[in-house]
Amino acid sequence: MKRVAIGVIGTGFWGENQVRVLRQSRMADLVAICDTNEKRAREIGTKYGVPWHTDVDKFLRVPGLEAVTVCTPTQTHLKVGLLAIESGKNLLVEKPMTGEERAADRLVNSARKANVKLLVGFIERFNPGVRAVKKMLMQKIVGNVIIATGRRVARWPLRIGDVGVVKDTAIHDIDAMRYLFGKEVLAVFAQTGSLRRRSYEDYAEMMLRFDGGTTGFIDANWLTPRKVRTLIITGSEATINLDYITQEITLENSKQLVKPYTPWAEPLKLELDSFVTTIIQDTVGSPSGDDALRAIRVCDAALRSGKSKTLVTLSGS
């Protein structure tokens, strides 16, 4: 079976996780890593036995390199992504794909013109619990979906981000709801603010109106003492509760409460396997750059709504 020669750009907390998973992959050969911090690059390269670089241009010229993952700070995604595209590399960019819609659009168009694959790290799509919920919704087990409530809260992250809680955290729930419902967001109303840092918002309460009538609520913040990642879907016939972390599901209707068994699996491994498989089989990958662009548009609408305290509408196309 063909193996894909792959490299990782950015070896911080999440980048190291990708290095760990790819180093064990049966489908990919991790041929190099890159980080502008020489100490960090050497540390991770030595720890996992992988050649390391500090210069992105030299890294992208590694013989045989076919694909890269981009785990650098958000505001560098466009620059690093364009360099990868210009060198003909397929790429998986961590979310948010970029910090701004215009940059996201440029990255998507550049990848399309260069005929390289551009996927984005919306990892919840590979959560076995989410996939089980998707199957339930397709089977109409809950009837018509009326309301979905996502809660994604924790204390302030140790890493210093260059986007706020909406694009760093709530964007996962935006994409998960788009994926589960197969519908686009038509309108957003949000309350946002910052208690600890003035540069970016650290809490957001969002209401999304989806094409077809479903309402989505998202509670995201960096203020809650305990990490919580949950989704509640209320339908006309039943309710689904999902814990993203444990991947456990509870299904309840008027007669019974059951807990369907879903085998646990590491979403990151499934995500990276999917990326590599897309390259090997030369298929259309998902979640795509277009998915990322649509999620960023919803985030921007939420931030505008938070500032204006008004409902913001979007095109459903």
For residue 316, is pLDDT > 70?
Answer: no
The 10 Å Cβ neighbour count of residue 79 is 13
Name, in order, each residue with C-beta under 8 angstroms of 304's C-beta and a sequence gap of 6 or more. 312
- Among 11-25, 38-52, 155-169, which is the least confidently predicted range? 155-169
**Mean pLDDT across the stretch 115-140?**
98
**pLDDT over 90, % of the chain:** 94
Within 10 A of 115 (CB to CB), how many other CB atoms are there?
A: 9
Residues 229 and 180 in one domain: yes
Give mean pLDDT, residues 153-159. 81
Judgement on whether residues 132 and 119 belong to the same structural domain of the protein:
no
Q: What's the whole-number mean pLDDT along residues 153-175?
A: 88
Q: Which domain holds residue 172?
A: 125-265+297-313
- Give the whole-angstrom CA distance, residue 24 versus residue 178: 31
**Is 116 in the same domain as 149?**
no
- Provide CB contacts within 8 A for 268, sequence distance 6+: 17, 18, 21, 123, 126
- pLDDT of 315: 79
| Reported confidence tier of residue 156, pLDDT bands at 50, 70, 90 | confident
Q: Check whether 159 has a pLDDT greater than 80.
A: no
Assess whether 173 and 308 both reside in one domain. yes
Structure letter (DSSP) for residue 39:
H
Q: Walk across the sheet containing 145-153 and list its strands.
A: 257-258, 249-252, 239-243, 228-235, 145-153, 215-221, 203-210, 185-193, 312-313
Answer yes or no: is pLDDT of 294 > 80: yes
- Is residue 291 included in any domain, yes or no? no
Lay out the sheet containing 4-9: strands in order across: 52-53, 28-34, 4-9, 67-70, 90-94, 118-121
* 144 and 102 within one domain: no
Question: What does the pLDDT average to over 204-227?
Answer: 96
Q: Are 154 and 219 in contact (CB under 8 A)?
A: no
